[in-house]
Amino acid sequence: MKFTWSYVPPLVLEAAIRHRVFDVLDAGPKTVKETAEATGASERGLRIIMNVLVGLEFLAKVDAGRYALTPESAAFLVSTKPGFQGGILTHASRQLIPKWLKLTEIVGTGKPEAAVNQQGAGVEFFQQFVTDIFPMSYPSAKVLAEHLQLKGDAKVLDLAAGSGVWGIALAQSSPGVTVTAVDWADVLPATQATVRKFGLTDRYTFVGGDLLEADFGHGHNVALLGHILHSEGEARSRKLLKKTFDALAPGATIAIGEFLVEDDRSGPLGSLFFAANMLVNTDEGDTFSFAEISAWLKQAGFVDARLLDAPGPAPLVLATKS
């Protein structure tokens, strides 16, 4: 029974985000009627979902029937705040759940209906999504930049750049950093838009194409692979790591952001769920353990595979080209 209504929290959160409930309560506590006036949504709808959000501890009932944000919703669900994580939730009902409804058939065949690791479905899926997940990785990218302490002219290769979040944090950390960002050509406008927003366009080169076909150039000091191995799957990830190794200068660092699983795949639950998300959305995708990724890195030629703790759901795996 515990799981019967498990799909309710993300859908209630999505509805509240889309109706700007957290945004209007950020200005101060409100009654349902005041929230309805501020958002244009129905009083009945808001009353019911706002009570669910109280039960989930994303809202609190304060005096005189007013509802207030809790510290967690104030930090992560107000769209104007830098920590806003609602982007990933607003994809649930339109982009993810419709595909998950086919899970029984997908388990039967082992194949998704549409695979986002392929350019056609992938471009449509990622064009907006990459910008929405920028806040998920930006704090980790800042930690990586702090850890690497890049100085002078450093060349960074940002693979599957998406919003450009990883390369942007490194470019911000030192004026000599230049970035080569690789992604499908039709997703690169999203990368370019974010890079422009941060005023970094003159330090960027953009390369459009499939990761196993695009020209990575050579002599890079850092390679960034943020949330890409899970959709590529083992065979393509191994090829990608070898290709990345060849594009790096001696002494360079590779940094991989991933939702890791325990060696025996008994947890953490979020990474096991994400493996199922890869089953639903990709041809060969999965989540992997530190031991598995370390072995692939070693086979590609890297040494000293290690973990860097980072804020958020994904630690970083680092290794060195000796």
Give me the residues that bind ligand SAM (CB under 6 A), please: 117, 122, 126, 130, 133, 137, 160-163, 165-166, 183-184, 187, 210-211, 226-228, 231, 257
DSSP one-letter string for 198-257: TT-GGGEEEEES-TTTS---S-EEEEEEES-HHHHHHHHHHHHHHHHHHHEEEEEEEEEE
**C-alpha span between 166 and 146 (Å, rounded):** 12
Nearer to ligand SAM, 16 or 297 (CB): 297
State the nearest-atom distance from the C-beta of 70 to ligand SAM, in Å: 27
Nearer to ligand SAM, 39 or 244 (CB): 244
Nearer to ligand SAM, 29 or 162 (CB): 162
**C-alpha span between 297 and 234 (Å, rounded):** 12
Nearer to ligand SAM, 73 or 281 (CB): 281
Q: Which residue carries 């191995």 as its tokens? A: 229
- List the structure tokens of 7: 């799909």
**C-alpha span between 90 and 83 (Å, rounded):** 15
State the nearest-atom distance from the C-beta of 224 to ligand SAM, in Å: 7
Task: Report which residue's Cβ sits closest to ligand SAM.
Answer: 162
Nearer to ligand SAM, 160 or 200 (CB): 160
Nearer to ligand SAM, 13 or 207 (CB): 207
* CB-facing half-sphere around the CA of 223: CA atoms within 13 A: 33
Do the Cβ atoms of 287 and 274 come closer than 8 Å?
yes
Rg (CA), the chain: 21
**C-alpha span between 118 and 121 (Å, rounded):** 6
